[in-house]
Amino acid sequence: MTKKENTDRIIRYLGGAGNIVSVNSCMTRLRVSVRDETAVEEEKLRTAEDVLGLVHDREGYYEIVVGPGKARKYADLCRAAGLSAGLDEGKPARERDPGKQRGRREGGGLKSGLKTLGEIFIPLIPGIITAGLCAGFASLIAQTVPGYRDRRVWGVLYQLLSLINASFMTYLTAWAGYRAAERFGATPILGGMLGMMTSLEGINEISRLLGLYDESSPLNAILRTGKGGVLAVIAGVFMLSLVEKRIRSRMPESLDVVFTPLLSLLICAVPYVLVIMPLLGYVSGGIVWVFSRLCLSDNLAVRIAAGYVSTALFLPMVAAGMHHGLVALYSVQLQELGYVTLYPALAMAGAGQVGAAVALWMKARKVGNRKLCAVITGALPAGILGIGEPLIYGVTLPLGRPFITAGLGAGFGGALVMAAKVASTTWGPSGLPGTFVMTAGPRGAVGSALFYLAGLAVACVCSFIITALVIPKETLLPEGAGEAAGKTVARALGGAEEAAAGKNAVRDVQGAEAPGRTVRHGEEIRLGAPAFRFEYTVTDPIGMHARPAGKLAEAARAYQCEITVCAGEKRASARSPIALMNLGAGKGTVLSVRAEGKDAEAAIRALKAFFQENL
């Protein structure tokens, strides 16, 4: 199937072109806003060609994981089909006003706030990566080419690279302000202007006139150019969006285009400069201080512990959608320090995925699971290049435990990198390409890059060893090798006689489908034609987290029937670990499990046993 044909199919599964409000893309995902999510065929969408995963954590909004390179191609094909790439207008009406509730699926204020920060910075990532790579190459030239400034070719190349980096970094607050205005519903150019003000020398002049400037130590001034950085800009633009909307609602239409933007910016400028910038400046400084004390601590043990814990926890943060908020931290560090200290350690998580995947490939090959081997083989090149989604959504997360072992092994690489005080000129590139931005540590560009490569090797090897030791090869048997497991489940449900009877025991239950007829074993399983159901109350203190979700998805894939898990009004395919985690099923949640199709009864029996053992 061509990509154009698959694009048409994806559009159809999303409810048709008329149901799609906007389509955008990041490095690995299509980001789609729809008018009516009930028209979306999620199960078919998850199984479409090239789709690695589906994230639906907000009403009317879907993230379709298709992998690196493909996301932009599919977005372009969607636009060629007449779909909009609108920004604020591409959101459901209830999400255009930042004062309104963002929807029940966002999972609380913290996750919603981190998601918003991610949405502001995601469109800036190409510029962030380009500027960081140019800064890294310029640093390497400076350290490896003697007299580069006096050599025409090297001197021009160095200056060009430095200009590209400066074109982004000098006006980072302006880019952030523009994007924040798009996200909050303000006029984008006004948000960019507010952000631009932050970086101009006039702020220092205002500070001097008000007696807030410290001539002896400008960095300690209450108010100075750049104070508060991107955090101040985001807060200021949020205020701007509220003021602008209030003014526009009262301004005569004939005067709107002239006076609404003028009054909005004038009204916001004073509290922004005099209150928000100084206040958020202390917040930004505190954040930088805390992470500098951890990542660049003089105590080696502190750096090792910080590196291991932060790296080991990063993959679960990605699965829970909590990693979006880190971009604000990276931006604060980059603006305040000129480099990023946390990102190099977190980049080790991708190497952990690679090591775990290699161990799984070797075990799967031994048990003849060619399908899993093929998936891993296809995903490994992207993982080595720092694109982790194919391995996360296609391999480790669905299997459950390898997702955890990958993080545990990656932690050792993170500990080494942070112990060596490796720092980066940007964030975004990881894997082998990330070497060129890991050039800002105290050991110099070359030394920092070499320690980064050593960290990748350690993370990969340790994840390989832990995965090889923890994951038994029997858990990777191909789908057709599950008959013995089915008999074990039957024995648990009905005793030794029913296990010996095998299919006859299933037939007996299938034949007893009179209304009200139930089969009891612990909680009841209601059997109906043509579907089978049961309800289960979660007792696990953590609830439906990554490990049971991955194991449940693996178990569900052994059956041909359609299996759906419901928590209240939320529905998820049992084959998708991401969708299962997005149910938000904590302890005490009542889950309704339904199987419909050819082998529905066998599936419902096996899943009932699974829930009792794992949740």
Which residues does 601 contact at the CB level (< 8 Å), separation at least 6? 506, 509, 510, 527, 532, 595
Residue from 325, 351, 323 nearest 438 by CA: 351
DSSP-assigned letters across all residues of 577-594: HHHHHTT---TTPEEEEE
Residues 501 and 394 sit within 8 Å (Cβ to Cβ): no
Return the DSSP state at 221: -
**Per DSSP, what are the bridge partners of residue 527?**
532
Sheet strand arrangement including 531-537: 518-521, 523-527, 531-537, 590-596, 562-567, 570-573
Instruction: List the structure tokens of 394.
Output: 């296609």
Give strand ranges (E) for 231-377: none
**Per DSSP, what are the bridge partners of residue 595?**
532, 563
First to last CA, the chain: 40
Task: Catalogue the active-site residues.
Answer: 26
Which residues does 344 contact at the CB level (< 8 Å), separation at least 6? 417, 418, 422, 423, 424, 434, 438, 452, 455
How much is the CA Rg of the chain, to the nearest whole Å?
Answer: 27
Residue from 234, 261, 237 nearest 247 by CA: 261
In this structure, which amino acid lies at residue 185? G
Instruction: List the structure tokens of 23.
Output: 């389509």
